[in-house]
Amino acid sequence: MMSDSAINQLAGKDFLTLFDYDSDEIADLLTLAKDMKQRHKLGEIYQPLKGKVMGLIFEKASTRTRVSFEVGMYQLGGTGLFLSSKDIQLGRGEPIADTAKVLSGYLDGIMIRTFAQEDVETLAKNASIPVINGLTDTFHPCQVLADLQTIEEVKGTLKGLKIAYIGDGNNMAHSLMIGAAKMGMHFSTAAPEGYLPDETIVNQAKEIATESTITVTTDPVEAVKDADVIYTDVWASMGQESEQQKREQLFAAYQVNQALVNHAKPDYLFLHCLPAHRGEEVTASIIDGKHSAVFQEAENRLHAQKALMTALLADA
């Protein structure tokens, strides 16, 4: 299990992007997530957050994020308080800074799932309690904790593995790239011109990746070649629904199908953050096949988020 001293080192820290965490801190969170899962499977009651309240602000819809945080807080002995932007003053124009200061007087932590990364940064800057980025258009670090946990469970290690992300250079591409760089994994990604990951984020990740490589290409075959892990996401994320038809045409050559995965290692692992559109970004035979661990990955959202909340909110 993650040591108490390691938990104390992270107590009170924000979780806005994986750039802010070093490899040892991420490894500590993964160790704690493994411990959380073992306790859960054994039916053991473990409530280090008894009496704590986590505010959960949602400006974007969610299944896995909402359930993992609410259930996680309950299992840890605390309370997850769902706060829809439609029901609080933030949705009626109250400044984020004011909301942060008010909620800091009521809560022990805040998780926010929203559009702009700068809104999360402003919330954290003005809050006196830990803030967790539950997703923005730029980053999705909570998902990547569960992804890394799943890869480690299946493959037994992270360092030296190659993960290939195929599709839109979005928040998942960014956070996976950072996570891979931090943990010594090779990362490759492929998307059409105009849909590649943000160049600034790519360059920052390359500076971190001293023991591995980062490849950005428009060729999905090149990206998948000899990959240990293949990852994809929907072609049109929340807020991009009007672009669905256009993106279907642009990304048709980037579907994860049998022809593409034949270029990966024979024992490749397939992951998807879900929800998935079978027949679009991935074929049913792949996502429902023997190489897929998408539901193990989805379950790990619970254990990874419990680890994160325990590390940031538990009393020193």
Q: Which residue out of 174, 272, 301, 303 is catalytically annotated?
A: 301
Tally of helices (H runs) and strands (E runs) in the chain: 13, 9
Is 275 annotated to bind ligand?
A: no
Is 92 annotated to bind ligand?
A: no
CA dihedral 310, 1, 113, 246 (to 10 degrees): 180
Is 9 annotated to bind ligand?
A: no
Is 233 considered catalytic here?
yes
Is 238 annotated to bind ligand?
A: yes
Q: Which residue out of 75, 186, 233, 247 is catalytically annotated?
A: 233
Is 247 annotated to bind ligand?
A: no
Is 188 annotated to bind ligand?
A: no
Is 62 annotated to bind ligand?
A: yes
Is 273 annotated to bind ligand?
A: yes
Residues in the chain, total: 316
Is 301 annotated to bind ligand?
A: yes
Q: Which residue out of 113, 186, 272, 303 is catalytically annotated?
A: 113
Two structure tokens written together for 251:
């990304």
Is 92 considered catalytic here?
no
Is 245 considered catalytic here?
no
User: Which strands, in side-by-side order, build the sheet including 131-135?
Assistant: 79-84, 53-58, 109-113, 131-135
CB 191 within 8 A of CB 169: yes
315 φ/ψ angles, rounded to the nearest 5 degrees: -65, 140
CB 234 within 8 A of CB 175: no
Is 140 annotated to bind ligand?
A: yes
CB 96 within 8 A of CB 123: yes
Q: Which residue out of 75, 143, 149, 255 is catalytically annotated?
A: 143
User: Which strands, in side-by-side order, build the sheet including 269-272?
Assistant: 214-217, 186-190, 162-166, 229-232, 269-272
Q: Which residue out of 149, 186, 247, 273 is catalytically annotated?
A: 273
Is 65 annotated to bind ligand?
A: yes
Return the residue matching tokens 């602000």: 57
Is 237 annotated to bind ligand?
A: yes
Is 113 considered catalytic here?
yes
Is 3 annotated to bind ligand?
A: no
Q: Which positions ≥6 away from 194 have C-beta within 8 Å?
A: none
Q: Which residue out of 14, 108, 140, 149 is catalytically annotated?
A: 140
Is 39 considered catalytic here?
no
**Closest to 301 measured CA to CA, from 40, 72, 101, 115:** 72
Helix H or strand E segment including 190 = strand 186-190
CA–CA distance from 281 to each of 240, 291, 297 (Å)? Answer: 15, 16, 18
Is 240 considered catalytic here?
no
**CA 93 from centre of chain:** 28
Is 141 annotated to bind ligand?
A: yes
Is 138 annotated to bind ligand?
A: no
How far the first Cα of the chain sits from its last, in Å, is 16
Two structure tokens written together for 60:
């974007």
* Residues that constitute the known binding site for carbamoyl phosphate: 62-65, 89, 113, 140-143, 273-274, 301
- Which residue ranges make up the annotated binding site? 62-65, 89, 113, 140-143, 171, 233, 237-238, 273-274, 301
> Which residues belong to the annotated binding site for L-ornithine?
171, 233, 237-238
Catalytic site positions? 113, 140, 143, 233, 273, 301
